[in-house]
């Protein structure tokens, strides 16, 4: 079993996990330490300046940034007095020390654990803030109108209310896929130099060895502890949807606890466990026996369980990200631990101009690099403290709360393919975890609301809907149509609904065909299909956007009647549908004898984005 010892006095839940046993001999106790005590000595220095770090985070990314900043602080001469949520600082923002704020925006709103702080901050008047602060914001540029809205507002309000900005605001864009590197760049090149200039101390780049301030003892007792932002749920059904020869797509049904609720279109955040093969790679690389137990002792704050024994399998399975792309600081860490000249030359190249194309774009992890360069003798503590904490993964719920209020279904593709770097296989952490679950298994999840624009209209009798998807992008629309079918069955009259589905072929990966045929027969939806491998079976339409263009007259009539448009799938699908919508707009204008330019079509589309046109794009 994994037992959760939760932070901040929260109530623990239990996660059942069967631990393998093969009768291997007990490993003698050994200690792995970082090769540099500089970080811990700085933390204990009586001259260290105090620093408070506050974060707003729903999925754990900004919390991971905050913990990383705290780990780096001692090597710059700062002692972190607090790492906590922004809400913890409501009415109590420190004025006697620097404050670093790391937060995000969700559709222009603060994170759940930052909302009270933000509303309190907006209520302040005059020059009532005497805080010296720095802000870093995370977001996704797909939400153009609200991109970094909350971190920008916090930064501006603090300054307007008398606060002192220590450095320029940093930012990371999830669309770039490498937010950890963006954060490290701001930290090393902006934040710490500014802190050094203002308060004194070492403002240079973070010493890659100094930050690794974990001491790890290895023994042979089992115990583990789990993070606290999820609750326990139970699998009630799991099955394969796709046919042999096509990419694996699956369905899972999960029973939520009585206290949990959801709405159609919401997300289920899943806290996964790393694939067994990834954990075994770590065990082999650091010569750990199957029953090794680690005791972590940290000089600075960490989200990992400290001063208690934890199974190495549990730690590397449930607590840390093993597949996260390496950052430049990770590569430098390996370089510092390297004694082989040939390896040093290659790592120096990878830490330079080759980093973007050979590490970041190919999603090469720190573990990948350690296996590629076996001569690098990196201490176990340095490896663990370089890994981000395990984060939840977000899946669109594919069921209707009107039909099953206590049970949610997920529709997902299992990612298992050749690694872009050529180094073995790339395995999707959460999808492979879910694919191994069976009826009766427990897992940890949390319901999160979707974008307000990505919900069924409340005036369903008047507002038509157009839904466009490809592959498992069908997930939220299954929930939408299931809900409409239940409303039809209850005798309600609905506005029309059009669903455009893209997949490979009707005999390979067409999902839930029987369900949609049944719902279509009730009048809950009209379904159009596009088969990329068999376009002759879909009237010549190869992709979903082709079918939309082919049936543009029908789509245009629904639009003129006030319809909402929803797109779920890849970024390529989103862009293609956007282009078809603009094309329909221009063709309609031409029919009416109005000359419209592409610029005017662009302006029209930006006006409907996130209002009548909503997307849920895979990242």
What is the arithmetic mean of pLDDT over 137-147? 81
Average pLDDT value for the chain = 86
Q: Which domain holds residue 149?
A: 38-199
342, with CB counted inside 10 A (0-12, 13-18, 19+), is: exposed
pLDDT given at position 584: 96
| Cα angle value 589/593/595 (rounded, 5°) | 60
Same domain? For 332 and 282 the reply is yes
Q: Which domain CATH number covers 27?
A: 1.20.990.10
Residue 253 in any domain: the answer is no
Q: Which domain CATH number covers 166?
A: 3.40.50.360
Residue 454 in any domain: the answer is no
172 strand-pairing partners:
138
Rounded percentage of the chain residues whose pLDDT exceeds 90: 69
Tally the domains of the chain: 3
Contact 104, 228 (CB under 8 A): no
Same domain? For 601 and 563 the reply is yes
Residues 6 or more apart in contact with residue 508 via CB below 8 angstroms:
242, 243, 245, 246, 533
Confidence of residue 206 (pLDDT cuts 50, 70, 90): low
Same domain? For 165 and 227 the reply is no
Same domain? For 165 and 230 the reply is no
Confidence of residue 300 (pLDDT cuts 50, 70, 90): low
**Is residue 7 over pLDDT 90?**
no
pLDDT in tens, 390-419: 989 999 999 999 999 999 999 999 988 777
The structure's pTM equals: 0.78
Residue 414 in any domain: the answer is no
Contact 594, 498 (CB under 8 A): no
Residues 6 or more apart in contact with residue 98 via CB below 8 angstroms:
49, 50, 51, 52, 78, 132, 133, 134, 166, 195, 198, 199
Same domain? For 230 and 335 the reply is yes
Same domain? For 565 and 597 the reply is yes
What is the arithmetic mean of pLDDT over 431-444? 96
What is the arithmetic mean of pLDDT over 147-159? 94
What is the arithmetic mean of pLDDT over 466-492? 97
Same domain? For 226 and 123 the reply is no
Same domain? For 50 and 181 the reply is yes
Residue 11 in any domain: the answer is yes
What gap in Å lies between CA 22 and CA 37, rounded to an integer? 37
Contact 498, 555 (CB under 8 A): yes
What gap in Å lies between CA 212 and CA 334, rounded to an integer? 12
**Is residue 373 over pLDDT 80?**
yes
Q: Which of 342, 363, 385 is the last residue of a domain?
A: 385
What gap in Å lies between CA 321 and CA 180, rounded to an integer? 12
What is the arithmetic mean of pLDDT over 149-154? 95
Q: Which of 332, 356, 385 is the last residue of a domain?
A: 385
pLDDT in tens, 520-565: 999 999 999 999 999 999 999 999 999 999 999 999 999 999 999 9
Same domain? For 230 and 269 the reply is yes
Same domain? For 15 and 47 the reply is no
What is the arithmetic mean of pLDDT over 320-332? 93
Q: Is 475 helix (H, G, I), strand (E, B) or coil?
A: helix
Residue 80 in any domain: the answer is yes
Q: Which of 353, 385, 417 is the last residue of a domain?
A: 385
Confidence of residue 151 (pLDDT cuts 50, 70, 90): very high
3-state SS of 168-223?
Answer: CCEEEEHHHCCHHHHHHHHHHHHHHHHHHHHHCCCCCCCCCCCCCCEEEEEECCCC
What gap in Å lies between CA 440 and CA 463, rounded to an integer? 40
Same domain? For 294 and 361 the reply is yes
Q: Which domain CATH number covers 586?
A: 3.40.50.80
Tokens, residue 472: 């498992």
Helix, strand, coil shares of the chain, percent, nearest 5, are 35, 25, 40
Residue 250 in any domain: the answer is no
pLDDT in tens, 62-95: 988 998 899 889 989 999 999 999 999 999 999 9
Same domain? For 494 and 548 the reply is yes
What gap in Å lies between CA 180 and CA 167, rounded to an integer? 19
pLDDT in tens, 556-593: 999 999 999 999 999 999 999 999 999 999 999 999 88
Higher-confidence position of 308 and 568: 568
What gap in Å lies between CA 214 and CA 385, rounded to an integer? 7
């Amino acid at each position: 079993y994994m037992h959760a010892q939760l932070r901040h006095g929260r109530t623990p839940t239990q996660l059942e996990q069967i631990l393998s046993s093969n009768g291997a001999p007990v490993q003698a106790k050994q200690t792995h330490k970082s090769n540099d005590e500089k970080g811990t000595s700085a933390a204990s220095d009586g001259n260290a300046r105090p620093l408070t770090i506050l974060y707003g985070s729903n999925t754990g990314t900004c919390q991971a940034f905050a913990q990383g900043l705290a780990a780096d602080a001692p090597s710059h001469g700062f002692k972190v007095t607090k790492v906590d949520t922004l809400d913890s600082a409501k009415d109590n923002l420190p004025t006697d020390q620097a404050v670093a704020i790391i937060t995000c925006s969700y559709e222009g709103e603060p994170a759940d654990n930052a909302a009270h702080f933000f509303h309190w901050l907006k209520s302040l008047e005059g020059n009532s803030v005497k805080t010296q602060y720095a802000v870093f914001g995370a977001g996704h540029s797909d939400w153009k109108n609200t991109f970094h809205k909350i971190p920008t507002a916090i930064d501006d309000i603090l300054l307007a209310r008398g606060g002192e900005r220590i450095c320029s605001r940093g930012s990371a864009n999830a669309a770039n896929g490498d937010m950890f590197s963006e954060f490290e760049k701001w930290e090393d090149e902006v934040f710490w130099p500014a802190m050094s200039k203002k308060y004194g101390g070492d403002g240079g780049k973070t010493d890659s060895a100094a930050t690794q301030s974990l001491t790890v003892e290895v023994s042979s007792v089992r115990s583990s502890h789990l993070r606290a932002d999820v609750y326990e749920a139970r699998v009630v059904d799991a099955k394969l949807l796709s046919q042999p020869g096509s990419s694996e797509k699956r369905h899972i049904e999960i029973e939520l606890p009585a206290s949990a609720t959801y709405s159609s279109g919401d997300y289920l955040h899943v806290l996964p466990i790393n694939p067994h093969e990834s954990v075994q790679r770590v065990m082999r690389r650091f010569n750990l026996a199957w029953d090794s137990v680690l005791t972590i002792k940290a000089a600075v704050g960490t989200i990992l369980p400290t001063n208690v024994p934890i199974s190495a399998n549990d730690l590397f399975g449930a607590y840390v990200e093993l597949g996260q792309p390496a950052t430049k600081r990770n590569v430098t860490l390996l370089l510092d631990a390297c004694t082989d000249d040939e390896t040093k030359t290659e790592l120096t190249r990878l830490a330079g101009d080759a980093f973007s194309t050979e590490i970041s774009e190919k999603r090469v992890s720190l573990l990948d690099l350690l296996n590629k360069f076996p001569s690098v003798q990196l201490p176990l503590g340095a490896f663990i403290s370089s890994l981000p904490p395990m984060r939840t993964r977000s899946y669109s719920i594919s069921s209707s709360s009107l039909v099953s209020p206590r049970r949610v279904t997920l529709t997902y593709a299992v990612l298992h393919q050749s690694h872009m770097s050529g180094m073995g296989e790339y395995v999707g952490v959460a999808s492979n975890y879910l694919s191994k679950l069976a009826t009766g298994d427990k897992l940890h999840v949390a319901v999160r609301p979707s974008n307000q624009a990505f919900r069924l209209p409340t005036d369903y009798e008047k507002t038509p809907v157009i839904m466009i998807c490809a592959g498992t992008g069908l997930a939220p629309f299954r929930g939408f149509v299931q809900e409409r079918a239940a409303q039809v069955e209850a005798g309600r009259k609905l506005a029309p609904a059009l669903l455009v589905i893209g997949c490979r072929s009707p005999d390979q990966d067409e999902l839930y065909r029987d369900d949609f045929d049944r719902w279509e027969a009730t009048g809950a939806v009209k379904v159009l299909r596009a088969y990329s491998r068999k376009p002759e079976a879909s009237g010549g339409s190869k992709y979903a956007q082709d079918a939309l263009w082919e049936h543009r007259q029908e789509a245009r009539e629904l639009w003129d009647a006030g319809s909402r448009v929803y797109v779920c799938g890849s970024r390529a699908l989103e862009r293609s549908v956007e282009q078809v919508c603009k094309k329909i707009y221009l063709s309609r204008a031409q029919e009416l004898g109005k000359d419209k330019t592409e610029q005017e079509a662009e302006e029209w589309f930006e006006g409907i984005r996130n209002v009548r046109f909503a997307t849920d794009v895979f990242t």
